[in-house]
Amino acid sequence: MPAINDTRFQSAVFLLTGIPGQEDVYLWISIPFCLVYAISIVGNSFIVYIIKTDPNLHEPMYILLSMLALTDLSLSIATMPTTLGIFLLNYREISLDACFAQLFFIHALECIESSVLLLMAFDRLIAIRDPLRYASILTPPRIATMWLVFALRGVVVMLPFPILLKRFRFCRANVLSHSYCIHGEVMRMACSDITVNDIYGLYITLLTEGLDSLLIFLSYVVILKMVLSITSHTECLRALNTCVSHLCAVLAFYTPLIGLTLIHRFGKSSSLLQILLGYVYLLVPPLMNPIVYSVKSKHLRARIVRIFVH
């Protein structure tokens, strides 16, 4: 009997959830989702291509923007198969191994994006505080090294998630409340003791996104203090204007992330708000970041216009 049970648990699947009660119109709902993914993938790919091929954009701010676009592109690719599989094909099943792999990539990329946003905050801080030494402090090799360190941090701290989940036996309701897998929800499907996973997940969240968001906040406190000390009103507005795009990216990333984390820990399971926040959390940042930066960045906008005119 134990052998039979082990086989049953190893071959178990999770059922993903689209939008409950709207199954009859999934094909229509898939249209905006396809548009969002298309815009996100094309927009972020275009940003990376332009910055890579234009030597005039090989500056710290644009190099970091290309890293953000590359992370957003990867995040869209990680969630697209299961999300569109539900709305286009009404296919809800996902194997344990595929689920564990997806949640690892989602959380690792989420951690890397948080790190890139932190680097971009430091970029704005140095640009405003010490503009004359800006290019000499944030050199491309130094930026690449910092990004590599943060990327390794994301992979290393998230790797225990699928390893720990692989040891569990899943015998409870196997219906997830999102169209993708995330650690906090999957671990609660286990009939084993999840204390280690729960503590480790909370600790890692505080140590990565929590610490990054705190440092970003402190960076903007310093930026605001320096900007307000500028006597010229025009120069003050100009300095603040250079931070608008990054602030939009920070709010688009951290607001739904914090809301979804709180709902998963303290809210009602599978609520409509939780489902909608889940889509906002992973779809809006990759969609909005290339649009906001293309509109706000004069040099990037000019390069895009030049390509389309030709």
- Please report, in tens digits, the pLDDT of each residue of the chain (310 residues total): 344 344 444 447 889 988 887 878 888 989 999 999 999 999 999 999 999 988 888 888 899 999 999 999 999 999 999 999 999 988 889 988 999 999 999 999 999 999 999 999 999 999 888 888 888 888 888 998 999 999 999 999 999 999 988 888 887 668 888 899 988 888 888 887 888 888 898 899 899 999 999 999 999 999 998 888 876 778 788 878 888 889 999 999 999 888 887 777 666 555 777 888 889 988 999 999 999 988 888 888 888 778 777 6
Domains of the chain by start residue, with CATH: 2-309 (1.20.1070.10)
Q: Which helix (H) or strand (E) holds 15?
A: strand 13-15
